[in-house]
Structure formats: C-alpha cells, structure tokens
Amino acid sequence: MGWEPDRYLQFSDERLQPAADLLNRIPLARPVHVVDLGCGAGNVTRLLAQRWPEADITGLDSSPEMLERARRVLPSARFELAGVEHWEPDDALDLLFSNAALHWVDDHEALFPRLLDSLSAGGVLAVQMPGNFDAPSHRLIRELAGTTAWADRIGPRRMGAVLPMADYQRILAPRCTRLHLWETTYWQAMSGPAPVLDWLQGTTLIPYLAPLDDAARADFLTELGSRLTEAYPPDSSGTTLFPFRRIFILAQR
C-alpha cells in the first residue's frame, strides 16, 4: 500500500495552510534555484511557482504516484523521484522548502546540517513538520497496533518523529545568520462520519496498513475508528475539532 493522492488531497486546504503560512515568512525576493523537498502531489510546489515565477523549481518525492499527480498539477516545473536520505543537489540552492516530509526521515542531527550546507550564502531552509506525535490520534494508533491481536501482523512501524525545539536551535544556530523557530496548533473543523480516521489514512496510517490484506485492514480501521470517535466526538452540529500541532523552522545561511 503506497501513497494515494486522492485520499491525501481530501483535506487539501487544511494540509496546505501551514505551507502557505511558512511561505509568507520567507525573506527572499528573487531566488533562482528552488527545491520543494517531499513535494507530494505538487500543490505546495505550485505555491512556490506562483510566488517566484522566474525561479528554477524542482520538486522531489519518493512516491511515483504523488509525482504523477504533481506533473499534471504543474507541468512547467521539474519533478524527480528521490528520497531525502541520500539526496544532494547539483548546485547550491537559494531556497530549500519542505512541507510535512522531514519527520519521516531519521537522524535529524545529521540531516539538518546537511540540508543547510546545500544552500548558497543567504539561502533559506524553510521546514514545516507535524509535531503532534503524542496527540490522542497518534497514541491510539500505536496502542492498537501494539495489542496482541495486531502486533505480529503489523510489526514495528514508524509514524515519524521530530526533535524538541531546543535541539533544532542547538543544531542550526551556529550555522545560520538568522534562525526562527515557532509552532502553531491548527484547530481543524472537520465533518463526516469518521473525519479523523479519514485524515490519518492519507498519511500516518500508511505504514501501519501496508502489511495487512484487505480484510485485516478493514478490521483494523473499524476498531481504530471507534476509538478515534471517542477521543474526538462530533458536536451537536456534526463538526469534529481536530487540533494539530505543527512546528516551523526558518534558517538562513
């Protein structure tokens, strides 16, 4: 089971808002070489192209399905199949932008300095990552996957992780002329019979569902869905509030 662009884009506005908020903080007038690292379906790459239409923009992602959609969304940009772990640019970059991707990658102690070193003098590393791995939604996934009924079938899985903010300060500040760190909790108002489950199926649940056949996947989702509804009950109008913490890093070399 891989990434499904249609499912991911079911909440496209909510997923796009943090990227737009980060984009508005970038202090560059005319970047020439821009990379969207973990570009997904290309909806963030399109924002980059709209702001800097003369820039040379490349989108990188490890999902062929997402890249196929991205090429349709923005045919003027260049898209390449590449994982973050071993990627290195051919030329120094003016802007390296990454929205909701780097939490999937291990060893941020080494990763973030390497990404910063790929920038030209004055270049910017702009990163947004989920910071809600201790939220009820993610805790319930780990708890259910670890029960006797599911542990052997699912096995050890990774849902992503980020470091404490102080660690990013320690790692990046000595290498930067400017560094801004902040966080925002987005209180997402969602509708439908199981909106939090639908959201999680587009991202976090992908590695947990991958080892299961269709019948087991349906059973797992049914059990998880009931737990999520209890944790995030809809109000009298049918609206479910799903608070989602996100962290932001804006580092200028």
For residue 84, name the pLDDT band (cuts at 50, 70, 90). confident
The total number of structural domains in the chain stands at 1
Instruction: Indicate the SS3 state at residue 113.
Output: helix
Interval 233-246: pLDDT, tens: 999 999 999 999 99
Mean pLDDT for 104-110 is 94
Identify the DSSP state of 158: -
- Give the helix, strand, coil percentages of the chain, each rounded to 5: 40, 25, 35
**pLDDT at residue 159, as a whole number:** 87
**pLDDT at residue 161, as a whole number:** 87
pLDDT > 90 in the chain, percent: 83
Residue 61: pLDDT above 60? yes
Interval 132-168: pLDDT, tens: 999 999 999 999 999 999 999 999 988 888 999 999 9
**pLDDT at residue 250, as a whole number:** 98
Q: Which residues lie across from 81 on neighbouring strands?
A: 61
- Strand arrangement, sheet containing 119-130: 78-81, 56-61, 33-37, 93-99, 119-130, 240-252, 178-190
Residue 1: pLDDT above 50? no
Range of the domain at 152: 5-252
Residue 96: pLDDT above 50? yes
**pLDDT at residue 7, as a whole number:** 57
CA angle 161, 200, 195 (to 5 degrees): 145
The CATH code of the domain that includes 185 is 3.40.50.150
The answer to whether 220 and 144 are in contact (CB under 8 A) is yes
Mean pLDDT for 2-26 is 78
**Beta strand pairing status for 178-190 and 93-99?**
unpaired
Interval 186-224: pLDDT, tens: 999 999 999 999 999 988 999 999 999 999 999 999 999
Q: Round the average pLDDT of the chain to a whole number and report it.
A: 93
